């Protein structure tokens, strides 16, 4: 394939523009991130307003996905440690860039964009997508339909730097922003896909990668769901029904809760109030790592604390500095020679140099 250098250069410039924006967002919201104790899910109902989405068999995608999204949020809110944020709750048009902004400003742990598919055959089944270039012709067609939403935006040429949903070359720069979160996105997508198959016996269309703009600018694991084909007579009727929408919402919610339980169960919430505790920080990373002992040289009982854009991995919870010092020796036996003691108060990590 011949690469259009102008498109690539524009995408690279756009990358750095958005990267700067990302650091501004994180700086202004650092306090809220540090105090975050809930698992934040942003639910994005695709299309809306002047953008009806696909209208297979006379059904309205924008209406169906909004119903599923609202029902999904209602179910998730029953969990006291989950916070739900919507990109829209009514029949209104929200551009793709703003949907990502909503997720970023919310310091979300997971972004879910919900859609319905269409085809010129009687294709059926639910599928999940993450951002990537491993796209066959079918995946490109799915992304092209969803990305064509930008044509409803008056300033789309400037907003997306000439991105053309109909041109495969335009997809080249899309993966730059989401690459860091790809592993977690694939895991979340696989949980959702498995839930469709196991709980609803839906045809498995598997987890795929394609170039979706709505996933490009999000700074967290992100998944786009195609709940089924409105162009299929039976599946369209199912998705348009109250029962079908509730079943889809339930299946998605089960997957999200499982993902949260498996990867965020050890987020710390200790050290509340004015009491000062001591912990041992063994490492930090921008990626969330499952706190299994095999990921930490056999060291068990690791917990995670989100601090700005980093996940900090902590061991122990001690009332005195001396007790922490003794356990620091134990931690270093597992190879964490650069580990150090931190203070922990009001769900914040405090440098020992800053203690009063």
CATH number at residue 58: 3.40.630.40
Non-local CB neighbours of 70 within 8 Å, separated by 6+ positions: 45, 86, 89
For residue 173, tell me if it sits in a domain: yes
Looking at the fold, whether 183 and 38 belong to one and the same domain comes out as: yes
Looking at the fold, whether 38 and 86 belong to one and the same domain comes out as: yes
Looking at the fold, whether 289 and 231 belong to one and the same domain comes out as: no
199: pLDDT strictly greater than 70: yes
What pairing do the DSSP bridges indicate for beta strands 39-45 and 126-131? Answer: unpaired
* 153: confidence class by pLDDT, cuts 50, 70, 90: low
213: pLDDT strictly greater than 90: no
Segment 241-283, tens digit of pLDDT: 999 999 999 999 999 999 998 887 655 555 444 678 899 999 9
Instruction: Identify the pLDDT of residue 332.
Output: 93
* 293: confidence class by pLDDT, cuts 50, 70, 90: confident
What pairing do the DSSP bridges indicate for beta strands 302-307 and 310-318? Answer: antiparallel
Looking at the fold, whether 311 and 217 belong to one and the same domain comes out as: no
Flag whether the pTM goes above 0.95.
no
Instruction: Identify the pLDDT of residue 36.
Output: 52
Looking at the fold, whether 281 and 249 belong to one and the same domain comes out as: no
Looking at the fold, whether 259 and 312 belong to one and the same domain comes out as: no
What would the two tokens of residue 153 be?
Answer: 């935006």
Domain stop point among 232, 264, 296: 264
Annotate the chain with three-state secondary structure: CCCCHHHHHHHHHHHHHHHHHHHHHHHHCHHHHHCCCCEEEEEEECCECCECCCCHHHCCHHHHHHHHHHHHHHHHCCCCCEEEEECCCCCCCCCHHHHHHHHHHCCCCEEEEEEEECCCCCCCCEEEEEECCCCCHHHHHHHHHHHHHHHHCCCHHHHCCCCCCCCHHHHCCHHHCCHHHHHHHHHHHHHHHHHHHHHHCCCEEEEEEECCHHHHCCCCCEEEEEEEECCCHHHHHHHHCHHHHHHHHHHHHHHHHHHHHHHHCCECCCCCCCCCEEEEEEEEECCCCCCCHHHHCCCCCEEEEEECCEEEEEEEEECCHHHHHHHHHHHHCCCCCCCEEEEEECCEEECHHHCC
- The total domain count for the chain is 2
Quickly tell me which residue has 């900090």 as its tokens: 312
Domain stop point among 264, 286, 308: 264
| Closest-CA residue to 117 (of 57, 54, 59) | 54
For residue 270, tell me if it sits in a domain: no
Instruction: Identify the pLDDT of residue 40.
Output: 94
Q: Specify whether the CB–CB gap between 100 and 154 falls below 8 A.
A: no
For residue 82, tell me if it sits in a domain: yes
Q: Specify whether the CB–CB gap between 69 and 86 falls below 8 A.
A: yes
Burial tier of 243 (Cβ tally within 10 Å: 0-12, 13-18, 19+): exposed
Instruction: Identify the domain containing residue 296 by its residue range.
Output: 277-354
Instruction: Identify the pLDDT of residue 18.
Output: 43
Phi, psi of 209 (to 5 degrees): -115, 140
Looking at the fold, whether 112 and 62 belong to one and the same domain comes out as: yes
More confident residue, 274 or 337: 337
Looking at the fold, whether 232 and 105 belong to one and the same domain comes out as: yes
Instruction: Identify the pLDDT of residue 59.
Output: 97
More confident residue, 214 or 172: 214
211: pLDDT strictly greater than 70: no
Looking at the fold, whether 232 and 334 belong to one and the same domain comes out as: no
**For residue 338, what is the domain's CATH number?**
3.30.70
* 172: confidence class by pLDDT, cuts 50, 70, 90: very low
341: pLDDT strictly greater than 50: yes
For residue 155, tell me if it sits in a domain: yes
For residue 272, tell me if it sits in a domain: no
For residue 271, tell me if it sits in a domain: no
Looking at the fold, whether 230 and 346 belong to one and the same domain comes out as: no
For residue 308, tell me if it sits in a domain: yes
Instruction: Identify the pLDDT of residue 354.
Output: 58
* 68: confidence class by pLDDT, cuts 50, 70, 90: very high
Burial tier of 119 (Cβ tally within 10 Å: 0-12, 13-18, 19+): middle
Looking at the fold, whether 149 and 297 belong to one and the same domain comes out as: no
Q: What is the mean pLDDT of residues 60-85?
A: 97
Looking at the fold, whether 317 and 201 belong to one and the same domain comes out as: no
């Amino acid at each position: 394939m011949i690469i259009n250098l102008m498109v690539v250069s524009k995408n690279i410039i756009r990358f750095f523009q958005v990267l700067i924006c990302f650091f501004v967002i994180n700086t202004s919201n650092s306090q809220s991130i540090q105090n975050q104790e809930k698992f934040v899910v942003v639910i994005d109902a695709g299309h809306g307003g002047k953008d009806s989405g696909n209208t297979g068999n006379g059904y309205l995608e924008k209406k169906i996905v909004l119903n599923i999204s609202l029902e999904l949020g209602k179910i998730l809110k029953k969990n006291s440690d989950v916070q739900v944020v919507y990109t829209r709750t009514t029949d209104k048009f929200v551009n793709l860039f703003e949907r990502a902004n909503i997720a970023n400003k919310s310091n979300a742990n997971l972004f879910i964009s919900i859609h319905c598919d269409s085809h010129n055959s009687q294709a059926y089944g639910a599928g999940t997508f993450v951002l990537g270039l491993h796209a066959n012709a079918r995946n490109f067609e799915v992304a092209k339909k969803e990305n064509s939403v930008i044509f409803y935006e008056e300033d789309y040429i400037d907003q997306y730097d000439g991105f053309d949903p109909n041109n495969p070359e335009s997809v080249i720069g899309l993966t730059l922003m989401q690459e860091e979160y790809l592993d977690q996105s694939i895991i979340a997508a696989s949980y959702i896909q498995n839930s469709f198959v196991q709980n609803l016996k839906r045809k498995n269309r598997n987890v795929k990668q394609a170039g979706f703009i709505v996933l490009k600018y999000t700074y967290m694991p992100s998944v786009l769901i195609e709940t089924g084909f409105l162009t299929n007579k039976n599946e369209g009727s199912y998705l348009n029904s109250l029962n079908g929408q509730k079943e889809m919402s339930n299946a998605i919610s089960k997957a999200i809760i499982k993902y949260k339980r498996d990867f965020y169960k050890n987020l710390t919430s200790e050290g509340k109030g004015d009491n000062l505790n001591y912990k041992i920080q063994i490492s930090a990373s921008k990626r969330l790592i499952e706190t299994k002992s095999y990921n930490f040289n056999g060291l068990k009982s690791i917990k995670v604390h989100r601090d700005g854009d980093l996940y900090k991995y902590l061991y122990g919870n001690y009332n005195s500095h001396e007790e922490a010092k003794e356990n620091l020796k134990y931690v270093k036996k597992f190879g964490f020679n650069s580990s150090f003691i931190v203070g922990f108060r009001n769900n914040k990590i405090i440098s020992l140099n800053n203690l009063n």
